[in-house]
Amino acid sequence: MSGHEAGDAPAFGAALAVLGLRCAVESRAGLAVMAADAAQLAALVSLESRRQVLALARQHGFTHVAVELTAQPAGVRAPLLRD
Protein backbone atom coordinates (compact mmCIF):
# COMPACT_ATOMS: atom_id res chain seq x y z
CA MET A 1 0.00 0.00 0.00
CA SER A 2 2.86 2.37 0.66
CA GLY A 3 6.53 2.60 1.26
CA HIS A 4 5.92 3.56 4.88
CA GLU A 5 7.19 1.18 7.52
CA ALA A 6 4.73 -1.47 8.65
CA GLY A 7 3.60 -1.91 12.22
CA ASP A 8 3.99 -5.16 14.17
CA ALA A 9 0.55 -6.79 13.93
CA PRO A 10 1.25 -9.90 16.06
CA ALA A 11 2.70 -7.83 18.90
CA PHE A 12 -0.18 -5.36 18.72
CA GLY A 13 -2.67 -8.24 18.73
CA ALA A 14 -0.99 -9.72 21.80
CA ALA A 15 -1.13 -6.36 23.57
CA LEU A 16 -4.81 -6.04 22.75
CA ALA A 17 -5.42 -9.50 24.23
CA VAL A 18 -3.93 -8.32 27.51
CA LEU A 19 -6.50 -5.53 27.44
CA GLY A 20 -9.22 -8.13 26.98
CA LEU A 21 -9.65 -7.62 23.25
CA ARG A 22 -8.89 -10.88 21.47
CA CYS A 23 -9.05 -10.19 17.77
CA ALA A 24 -7.00 -10.71 14.64
CA VAL A 25 -5.00 -7.72 13.46
CA GLU A 26 -4.12 -7.15 9.83
CA SER A 27 -1.22 -4.88 9.03
CA ARG A 28 -1.46 -2.60 6.02
CA ALA A 29 1.78 -0.66 6.41
CA GLY A 30 1.03 1.97 9.07
CA LEU A 31 -2.63 0.98 9.28
CA ALA A 32 -3.79 -1.76 11.67
CA VAL A 33 -7.18 -3.28 10.86
CA MET A 34 -8.78 -5.02 13.84
CA ALA A 35 -11.26 -7.78 13.12
CA ALA A 36 -13.51 -7.18 16.08
CA ASP A 37 -16.74 -8.97 16.82
CA ALA A 38 -19.81 -7.16 18.10
CA ALA A 39 -18.77 -7.46 21.73
CA GLN A 40 -15.32 -6.08 21.06
CA LEU A 41 -16.77 -3.28 18.97
CA ALA A 42 -19.04 -2.40 21.86
CA ALA A 43 -16.00 -2.19 24.11
CA LEU A 44 -14.50 0.41 21.81
CA VAL A 45 -17.42 2.79 22.08
CA SER A 46 -15.93 4.58 25.07
CA LEU A 47 -13.33 7.25 24.45
CA GLU A 48 -11.03 5.86 27.15
CA SER A 49 -11.02 2.43 25.50
CA ARG A 50 -10.12 3.90 22.16
CA ARG A 51 -7.33 5.94 23.71
CA GLN A 52 -5.87 2.78 25.22
CA VAL A 53 -5.98 1.00 21.87
CA LEU A 54 -4.50 3.94 19.99
CA ALA A 55 -1.65 4.24 22.48
CA LEU A 56 -0.86 0.55 22.10
CA ALA A 57 -0.97 0.85 18.34
CA ARG A 58 1.55 3.67 18.39
CA GLN A 59 3.84 1.57 20.58
CA HIS A 60 3.77 -1.14 17.91
CA GLY A 61 4.45 1.08 14.92
CA PHE A 62 0.97 1.95 13.65
CA THR A 63 -0.13 5.50 12.88
CA HIS A 64 -3.74 4.47 12.19
CA VAL A 65 -6.09 1.88 13.69
CA ALA A 66 -9.42 0.93 12.20
CA VAL A 67 -11.91 -1.65 13.32
CA GLU A 68 -13.60 -3.64 10.60
CA LEU A 69 -17.37 -3.54 10.58
CA THR A 70 -18.57 -7.06 9.89
CA ALA A 71 -22.06 -8.47 9.90
CA GLN A 72 -22.39 -9.46 13.55
CA PRO A 73 -25.35 -10.31 15.71
CA ALA A 74 -26.18 -7.38 17.96
CA GLY A 75 -26.79 -7.56 21.69
CA VAL A 76 -23.58 -9.28 22.76
CA ARG A 77 -22.27 -7.95 26.05
CA ALA A 78 -19.09 -5.93 25.87
CA PRO A 79 -15.94 -7.31 27.48
CA LEU A 80 -14.29 -5.18 30.15
CA LEU A 81 -10.99 -3.65 29.20
CA ARG A 82 -8.25 -4.19 31.75
CA ASP A 83 -5.66 -1.62 32.76
Partner 1 sequence: MPRDAGSRAADKEIALAEWLVARGRVAIGFSGGVDSAFLAVVARRALGADGVLAIIGRSASYPVEQWAAARRVADEFHVAVLELDTAELADPRYAANPSNRCYFCKTELWEKLVPVARARGYTTVVDGTNADDLRDHRPGAQAAREHAVASPLADLGFTKAEIRERSRALGLPTWQQPSSPCLSSRLPYGTSVTVERLAQVERAERALRDLGIEGDLRVRYHDDLARIELSPDALEAWLAAEPSARLAAAVRGAGFARVAIDLRGFRSGSLNVLHGVSVA
How many CB atoms lie under 10 A from the CB of residue 43? Answer: 20
Nearest approach, Cβ of 34 to partner 1 (angstroms)? 8
CA distance 10 to 61: 11
- Which residues contact partner 1 (rule: CB under 8 A)? 1-5, 28-31, 33, 38, 41-42, 44-47, 50, 53-54, 58, 63-72, 74-75
Nearest approach, Cβ of 10 to partner 1 (angstroms)? 19
Nearest approach, Cβ of 5 to partner 1 (angstroms)? 8
CA angle, corner 47, sides to 44 and 56, nearest 5?
Answer: 70
